[in-house]
């Protein structure tokens, strides 16, 4: 405060010094304010506003209510089904990745009730995404099993490893063969559908990761070269 008073006085008493000093203080003040706004904007982008980010509790509630109003208006216009590229449970809007939990928490902060139907639609997004992933897993699992049977049959006929791999790893391989990843190492054949699922469902990474952790055996299988002589699957 003393600097401002001194600069103000000098602006009249000795303008060559006072005016430049006053301009410098104004510039510095604007820069600091801009930096504070930027810091708050980054925090708000993450949807993690705190009351201390604002000049008063009323301003905080006003901002949260505005965000919730925007989401609910977005939902009323029928846009909630537009999921993000990261996770089907999130809906990107105004720099915030909205989810059922975030929406509920923000409503709680300002003492308003979340719209039950909007919560149901968040759940619906998750269900639709999960069902789409299930369909792909079932389809690709069938192709994976079919691939295993085909390779075992070809091995029993005496076909060599490289000629078999070429039918799956070559750029001109059939579309079905390219849906599985086939590899042979230490006389063990490995077939996986993980890469295809990652490409087909890049917007469902969280769901896919959870499935992989829960039942990895669903997404890959392996068997020994001895299968051509009646060996057992590993």
- 128, part of any domain: no
Please tell me whether residues 31 and 51 are part of one structural domain: no
Domain that holds residue 28: 1-45
Confidence tier at 72 by pLDDT (50, 70, 90): very high
87-144 residue pLDDT tens: 556 677 777 778 888 899 999 999 999 999 999 988 888 888 888 888 889 989 999 9
Please tell me whether residues 54 and 103 are part of one structural domain: yes
Please tell me whether residues 223 and 147 are part of one structural domain: yes
**What mean pLDDT is reported for the chain?**
78
Please tell me whether residues 54 and 86 are part of one structural domain: yes
Most confident of 48-57, 127-136, 158-167: 158-167
Say if CB 9 and CB 18 are below 8 A apart. yes
Dihedral sign (CA 150, 151, 152, 157): positive
Please tell me whether residues 84 and 29 are part of one structural domain: no
Q: How many domains does the chain have?
A: 3
pLDDT of residue 44: 46
Is residue 17 over pLDDT 60?
A: no
Say if CB 182 and CB 165 are below 8 A apart. yes
Mean predicted confidence (pLDDT) in 12-36? 55
How far separated are the first and last CA of the chain, in Å rounded? 78
Q: What percentage of residues in the chain have a pLDDT greater than 90?
A: 35
Say if CB 84 and CB 92 are below 8 A apart. yes
What is the SS3 assignment for 173? coil
pTM > 0.85: yes or no: no
């Amino acid at each position: 405060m003393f600097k401002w008073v001194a600069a103000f006085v000098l602006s009249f008493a000795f303008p060559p010094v006072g005016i430049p000093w006053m301009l410098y203080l104004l510039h510095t003040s604007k820069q600091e304010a801009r930096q504070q706004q930027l810091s708050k904007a980054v925090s708000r982008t993450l949807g993690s506003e705190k009351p201390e980010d604002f000049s008063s509790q009323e301003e905080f509630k006003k901002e949260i209510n505005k965000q919730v109003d925007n989401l609910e208006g977005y939902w009323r216009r029928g846009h909630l089904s537009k999921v993000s590229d990261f996770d089907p449970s999130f809906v990107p809007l105004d720099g915030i990745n909205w989810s059922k939990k975030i929406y509920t928490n923000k409503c709680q902060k300002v003492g308003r009730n979340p719209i039950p139907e909007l919560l149901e639609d968040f759940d619906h997004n998750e269900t639709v995404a999960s069902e789409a992933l299930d369909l792909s897993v079932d389809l690709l699992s069938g192709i994976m099993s079919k691939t295993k049977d085909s390779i075992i049959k070809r091995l029993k006929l005496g076909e060599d490893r490289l000629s078999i791999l070429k039918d799956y790893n070559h750029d001109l391989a059939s579309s079905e063969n390219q849906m599985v990843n086939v590899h042979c190492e230490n006389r063990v054949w490995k077939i996986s559908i993980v890469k295809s699922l990652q490409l087909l469902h890049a917007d469902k990474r969280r769901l896919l990761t959870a499935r992989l952790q829960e039942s990895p055996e669903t997404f890959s299988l392996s068997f020994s070269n001895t299968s051509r002589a009646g060996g057992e699957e590993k």
